[in-house]
Amino acid sequence: MHQRPFFGWIVVAAAGLGLATGIATVVAATFSIFVGPMRDEFGWDPSLPFWAPLAVTVTSAAAAPAVGSLVDRLGARRIVLVSFGLEALILASFHFMTGSIWGLYLRYVALGALCLGTTHVAFARVIALWFDRRRGLALGLALAGVGIGGIVLPLVCQALIEWQGWRAAYLGLAFIIVGITLPVLALTLHDSPARFGQTADGDPPGDAAAAARPSAPPLVGVPLREAVRERSYWLMMLTFLLIGIGLQSMMIHLVPMLRARGVEPMLAAAAQSTVFLGLVVGRLVTGWLMDRFFAPRVALAFLLAPLAGIAALATGASGPTAFLAAALIGLAAGAEVDVIAYLTSRYFGLHQYSRIYGTYYAVYSLGGGIGPVLTAQGVAQTGGYVTVLWLLIALLALAAGLLTMFRPFPDWSAPRAARAAANARAT
């Protein structure tokens, strides 16, 4: 019987497009592009807009476990399509903003509460079900969509702002979602390979490769209530909270920092795109490496890059050196989110994958919201970025130390009792 072509790589491409235009990318890649023109028009205090990313991340942190539970129960596809429709409506509403700072905050709260289906919480589960042996590479390719969106969106938004103003730029973002993202996802995003008569990686049921697969079949794993009792759960939580604070602070503040040093707006936007170019490379290379080497060690290696990049910025880097520093920061940002998604599946299985991953996404996002606000306050207190940058270096160095403490993955093909005994010995 003729075997149908494996549809998984099309699902990966669809997920990549979704992540390129989801709220995680839109907020990280465009906030710093919009904040200057909005601040100029409305006369806001310079530090006030930086509470908006905190608003979206706190809301996301509160909603992520519940959204993850919905994805586990209903499948990702329905949640994804509804979330993108709501994202387009909220982005279009920015066109009608008045000078009230609360209007900005409420819109970011709405993005966090209603649009989490546009993020890794939904898409990572889809990839984990479609792939096992090549899960690292598939996750890397899909999550690289964030980097591609991060390269394109700042330049598109800056061009629209210069052409028609920031209000039209928000309408442009909404149009991209409605005109491109939603139709493609409706046609190509599918929750499981079972619909095509295949198992993970495209192996037909009963195929030798499927039988020899070292990890468990889909949906085998521990529930969240058991995961929280394990040391690895809390070690991951602390590690990626610190990484979220450090890396997201740099991504949000890169453009304001460069503008404060006299860099032209379009050149600063290009530097922001460079961060996401590094993010694409980080995700692709990390995904490939995690299929071959112990993932926490891969994450540790990539975390060294932003230490060098931030140190260069702290010592006054400008011109090509600043662009190199931006790329190094993006390299790590791409690697670390990829690693969280991969480690969740390997440490805790797929039974309640989105629910467990949602808690990590929540904490990583919370760190990404707290960090930029603290950075803005630190800059206001010290009169510049230098001291704050060295503090961020210390924070990321601590996270690097924690990565050396991660234990080996459990063997999901082993009986439950054997896994428990192995976990006890590792602890």
List the single range of 82-86, 209-213, 308-312 with lowest mean pLDDT: 209-213
Angle between helices 101-114 and 23-42 (to 10 degrees): 170
The pLDDT-based confidence of 425 (bands split at 50, 70, 90) is: very low
The pLDDT-based confidence of 414 (bands split at 50, 70, 90) is: low
Cα separation, 425 vs 61, whole angstroms? 33
Give me the pLDDT at residue 98, please. Answer: 86
- Cβ neighbour number for residue 298 with a 10 Å cutoff: 24
List the single range of 164-178, 332-346, 395-409 with lowest mean pLDDT: 332-346
The pLDDT-based confidence of 234 (bands split at 50, 70, 90) is: very high
Mean pLDDT of 207-220: 50
Cα separation, 87 vs 146, whole angstroms? 16
Backbone φ, ψ for residue 380 (5° rounding): -65, -35
Question: ∠ CA 62-26-42 to the nearest 5 degrees?
Answer: 95
pLDDT in tens, 131-184: 888 888 888 788 778 878 877 888 888 889 888 888 999 999 999 999 999 999
299-330: burial string, b at 16+ Cβ within 10 Å, e else: bbbbbebbbebbebbbeebeeeebbbbbbbbb
Higher pLDDT: 199 or 82? It is 82
List the single range of 63-67, 87-91, 319-323, 407-411 with lowest mean pLDDT: 319-323
3-state DSSP assignment of residue 220 = coil
Give me the pLDDT at residue 171, please. Answer: 94
The pLDDT-based confidence of 219 (bands split at 50, 70, 90) is: low
Mean pLDDT of the chain: 81
Long-range contact list for 72-78, CB < 8 A, 24+ apart? Answer: 72/125, 72/352, 72/353, 72/354, 72/355, 75/191, 75/192, 76/117, 76/122, 76/123, 76/125, 76/126, 76/189, 76/191, 76/354, 77/185, 77/189, 77/190, 77/191
The pLDDT-based confidence of 212 (bands split at 50, 70, 90) is: very low
Higher pLDDT: 130 or 413? It is 130
Q: By C-alpha distance, which of 31, 332, 408, 350 is closest to 221?
A: 350
- From residue 47, how far is each of 101, 244, 271 by CA, in Å? 11, 20, 22
Give me the pLDDT at residue 203, please. Answer: 62
Q: Which residues are 349's β-sheet partners?
A: 221
Is pTM, for the whole model, over 0.85?
no
- Cβ neighbour number for residue 427 with a 10 Å cutoff: 9
Q: By C-alpha distance, which of 163, 173, 159 is closest to 27?
A: 173
Give me the pLDDT at residue 363, please. Answer: 82
Q: Is the pLDDT of residue 335 over 70?
A: no
Give me the pLDDT at residue 4, please. Answer: 65
Cα separation, 215 vs 196, whole angstroms? 21
3-state DSSP assignment of residue 47 = coil
CB 288 within 8 A of CB 140: yes
Mean pLDDT of 107-120: 90
Higher pLDDT: 333 or 60? It is 60
pLDDT in tens, 243-300: 888 888 887 788 778 877 777 777 777 777 777 777 777 777 887 788 888 888 888 8
Q: Is the pLDDT of residue 92 over 90?
A: yes
Give me the pLDDT at residue 413, please. Answer: 58
Q: Is the pLDDT of residue 417 over 50?
A: no
3-state DSSP assignment of residue 64 = helix
Mean pLDDT of 199-211: 58
The residue with tokens 């054997």 is 418
Q: Name the percent of the chain lying above pLDDT 90.
A: 19
Mean pLDDT of 42-47: 80
Following DSSP, what letter does each residue of 90-150 receive, concatenated?
A: HHHHGGG--S-HHHHHHHHHHHHHH-GGGSHHHHHHHHHHH-STTHHHHHHHHHHHHHHHH
Higher pLDDT: 80 or 352? It is 80
Give me the pLDDT at residue 216, please. Answer: 42
Give me the pLDDT at residue 172, please. Answer: 93
List the single range of 79-83, 150-154, 411-415, 416-420 with lowest mean pLDDT: 416-420
Q: Is the pLDDT of residue 239 over 50?
A: yes
Give me the pLDDT at residue 215, please. Answer: 44
3-state DSSP assignment of residue 358 = helix
How many CA atoms within 13 Å lie on the side-chain side of 114? 15
CB 326 within 8 A of CB 309: yes
Q: Name the percent of the chain lying above pLDDT 70.
A: 89
Give me the pLDDT at residue 424, please. Answer: 46
List the single range of 91-95, 210-214, 307-311 with lowest mean pLDDT: 210-214
- Tokens linked to 264: 């032209």
Task: Give the start-end residues of each E strand in 208-361.
Answer: none
- Tokens linked to 66: 């519940």
CB 344 within 8 A of CB 72: no
pLDDT in tens, 76-86: 899 999 999 99
The pLDDT-based confidence of 214 (bands split at 50, 70, 90) is: very low
Count Cβ atoms within 10 A of the Cβ of residue 159 and give its class: 0-12 exposed, 13-18 middle, 19 or more buried: middle
